[in-house]
Chains A and B, each alone.
Chain A
Amino acid sequence: MSDKASSKRRHENPSNLIKLLRNHRKDALKSLARMLFSPLSSSMTVIVIAAALLLPSLLFAFNTNIAALLGEFQNNARIVLYLTRGTSDTQALEVSNSLLTSNAIDSVDFISNEEALLSFSDAAGFSQIVADFEANPLPASIVITPNLAGLAELDQLAASLDQIPEVELVQVDSLWLRRLAAISELLVLAARVLGLIVLLSLCFIIGNTVRSHIENRRDEIKIIKLVGGTHSYIARPFLYIGLFYGLLGGLLASLLQALIFLSFRNPLNEIFSLYDSSFTLPLLAPAMLITLAFSGATIGWLAAIISAYRYVNAIST
């Protein structure tokens, strides 16, 4: 048989996959056309979906940046070792040198009690009072810059430093970091709870929209069932409707989020710089925006599956 003849036969008897793809393309286009046929109600639905997606997404983005900010501050955390009164400068320097051998410590800075007193009188403006002291009341200290990622490791290091005989007191400047970390954890929790609520709400909104589309075409569905339409054939256009609503809602939410970040970026960066932080609010990563759109599409598709399964099956012939 010639190639031309076999090509013609293939064209007339396409594989099931080709038939399926052809039907999907057709249904997708029809569903889009149906949405465009009623632009006002479709737009309203898309806006509601976008607003619902935007809130948890913003919380997640906000928290991601707080975590980054927290990381930067953690890198700047310091541990101060106040040495016992009898410790000589030589002993203190020996301690400093031995500390530098630890991987957990980036650098050390020894401050003798004389230097401390000088610094105190200069900084506080109590030079007259300091001059009246019979003896220097301030201890020598070692300021440590740790080379650690988390607060737990910082605590561990502080505990081990407390075991050094020459050390009277270990002071870790981390209370406010802990507060920020706790707020960050709370935000993660809030975003998760809100995400779950939004997920359920979106399922309800999209499911209900799909149900309304099904109800509008009830007679048509009955006829299609009578002439042998399968559940998937009948449901497919509605699944695309759910998918498109979710996708468009997700894209709009991405756009809004990008705009919000853009408008808040400069004022926030100015605040960070006032706190001597090199942290700058980044522009939203394209991956995050794509994730948001993809999430919307997935939720829309799943909600439509549930709705179509329920309501198409309920239509009897």
Chain B
Amino acid sequence: MISFDKVSKQYISGQYALAGVSFEIAKGQMAFVTGHSGAGKSTLLKLVLATEKCSSGNVVVNGTDLNHIRRREIPSFRRRIGMVFQDHQLLNDRSVADNVALPLDISGFSRRDALRRVRAALDKVGLLSKEKKFPAALSGGEQQRVGIARAVVNRPSIILADEPTGNLDPELSMETMEVFEQFKNVGVSLLIASHDISLINRMEYRTLILKGGALIGDTGLGELS
């Protein structure tokens, strides 16, 4: 599902964000990417989401070679990936339901069909009762869960999450992880960037450890379905 082969990302300044990183994430596998700030976690996710291109190496996601993806193919490629952002990236002038419905709206779903899926996604993250509220009326944790609902509403084959528990207390963090596990159990691949070592240790999933852009560890702890 996700394949990195000797991938490097060098910025114009000459600094390497990633250097010769290779790994593979299979279908239905859940993996963490960890490391200190500036280790390259976010850059790695950006390469998977095709918001940036690697300087060398090969990135293949869902069978698409991202070195050769055309600009006009990127939107449909992204629609098959669910992304959970650290800063939630919610539209403040739209209700919770409308935020979650955004990927469905883009895909051309009717309002009725979209609402059905939105409610199912919100139910999954425990926010069904807040579908009509606006993001500003929600707590940080609730906003994060709206972001998760939006990421999964289009039934993606891959979910990427950038520090999804960064603003959550330990209990909510575990709840969020349990939601992710549910998706893993139905064959969705998950790549989660996090620096919350205690959470990662508790989850006991495969962990990729980055330092200065290089992959210095891969626990390889199973969960291959």
Q: Using a CB–CB distance below 8 Å, which chain A residues touch chain B?
A: 11-12, 14, 16, 19-20, 22-23, 220, 222-231, 233, 317
**Known: A12-B113, A317-B51. Contact between A226 and B89, CB under 8 A?**
yes
Question: A187 to B14, alpha carbons, bound, how many Å?
Answer: 63
Say yes or no: is B40 at the interface (Cβ < 8 Å to chain A).
Answer: no
Q: A227-B83, A227-B103 are in contact. List 14 more A-B contacts (CB 8 A).
A: A12-B113, A23-B108, A222-B89, A223-B90, A224-B106, A226-B49, A226-B51, A227-B78, A227-B150, A228-B103, A228-B154, A229-B75, A230-B75, A230-B106
Q: In the complex, what residues of B have CB within 8 A of residue A230's CB?
A: 72, 75-76, 106
Give every chain B residue within 8 A of A14 (Cβ-Cβ).
Answer: 108, 110
Q: Which residues of B contact A225 (CB under 8 A)?
A: 75
CB nearest to A313 among chain B residues? B71
Q: Considering residues B72, B76, B83, B106, which has the most beta carbons from chain A within 10 angstroms of its beta carbon?
A: B106
| Total A-B pairs, Cβ < 8 A | 54
Question: Given contacts A220-B91, A223-B89, are A229 and B106 in contact (CB under 8 A)?
Answer: yes
Contacts of A19 in B (CB 8 A): 108
Chain A residues within 8 Å of B154, by CB? 228
> Taking A227-B78, A230-B75 as contacts, is the C-beta distance between A22 and B103 under 8 angstroms?
no
Q: At the interface, yes or no: B41 with Cβ under 8 Å from chain A?
A: no
Asked whether A226 lies within 8 Å of B78 as measured between CB atoms, the reply is yes
Q: Which one, B78, B91, B93, B106, contacts A233 given CB within 8 A?
A: B106
B110 and A228 contacting across the interface, CB-CB below 8 Å: no
How far is A228 from B83 in the complex, measured between Cα atoms in Å?
10
Within 8 A of A (CB), among B192-206: none
Contact indicator per residue, chain B 47-89, by CB within 8 Å of chain A (1) or not (0)? 0010100000000000000000000100111110101010001
A228 to B73, CA, bound (A): 10
**What is the minimal beta-carbon distance from B77 to any residue of chain A, in angstroms?**
8
Q: Is the CB of A20 within 8 A of B108?
A: yes
Q: Which of A20, A22, A223 contacts B110 (CB 8 A)?
A: A22
Residue of B nearest to A316 (CB): B51
Query: In the complex the two chains form, what is the Cα distance from A23 to B78 in whole Å?
Result: 20
Q: Name which of A14, A227, A229 has the most chain B CB atoms within 10 A of its CB.
A: A227
A228 contacts B113, CB within 8 Å? no
A228 touches B106 (CB 8 A): yes
B102 interface hit (Cβ, 8 Å)? yes
Q: Report yes or no: B78 in contact with A228, Cβ–Cβ below 8 A.
A: yes
- Which residues of chain A are near B79, meaning CB under 8 Å? 227-228
- How far does the alpha carbon of A220 sit from the alpha carbon of B81 in the complex, in Å? 19
Q: Which chain B residues numbered 6 to 42 have a C-beta less than 8 Å away from chain A?
A: none
Q: How far is the CB of A106 from chain B (nearest CB, A)?
A: 67
Chain B contacts of A20 at CB under 8 A? 108
* Nearest Cβ on chain B to A17's Cβ, whole angstroms: 10
Q: In the assembled complex, how far is the CB of residue B121 from the closest CB belonging to chain A, in whole angstroms? A: 13
Chain A residues with Cβ under 8 A from B106's Cβ? 224, 227-230, 233
List of B residues within 8 angstroms of A226 by Cβ? 49, 51, 78, 83, 85, 89
The distance in angstroms between the C-alpha atoms of A228 and B75, with both chains bound, is 4
Which residue from chain A places its CB closest to the CB of B90 in the assembled complex?
A223
Nearest-Cβ distance from residue A220 to partner chain B, whole angstroms: 6
Q: Which residues of B contact A224 (CB under 8 A)?
A: 102, 106
List 29 A-B residue pairs with CB atoms under 8 Å apart, sorted by A's residue number. A12-B113, A14-B108, A14-B110, A20-B108, A223-B90, A223-B91, A223-B102, A226-B49, A226-B78, A226-B83, A227-B78, A227-B79, A227-B103, A227-B150, A228-B75, A228-B77, A228-B78, A228-B79, A228-B103, A228-B106, A228-B107, A229-B75, A229-B106, A230-B75, A230-B106, A231-B75, A233-B75, A233-B106, A317-B51
Q: Which residues of chain A are near B108, meaning CB under 8 Å?
A: 14, 16, 19-20, 22-23
Set of chain A residues within 8 Å of B85, measured between Cβ atoms: 226
How does the 8 Å CB contact mask read for B156-174 relative to A, with 1 for contact and 0 for none? 0000000000000000000
| B33, chain A: closest CB distance, angstroms | 19
Minimum C-beta distance from A128 to chain B (A): 96
List the 10 closest A-B pairs by CB distance, nearest first.
A19-B108, A228-B79, A228-B78, A230-B75, A317-B51, A228-B75, A223-B89, A229-B106, A227-B103, A233-B106
Could you tell me if A228 and B89 are in contact, using CB atoms closer than 8 angstroms? no
- Which residues from 73 to 132 on chain B have a C-beta closer than 8 Å to any C-beta of chain A? 75-79, 81, 83, 85, 89-91, 93, 102-103, 106-108, 110, 113
| Nearest Cβ on chain B to A34's Cβ, whole angstroms | 11
A229 CA to B103 CA in the complex, in Å? 8
Task: List residues of chain B with CB within 8 A of the CB of A223.
Answer: 89-91, 102
A317 CA / B91 CA spacing, docked (Å): 15
Nearest CB on B from A228, distance (A): 4
Contact B76 A228 (CB under 8 A): yes
Q: Which residues of B contact A11 (CB under 8 A)?
A: 110
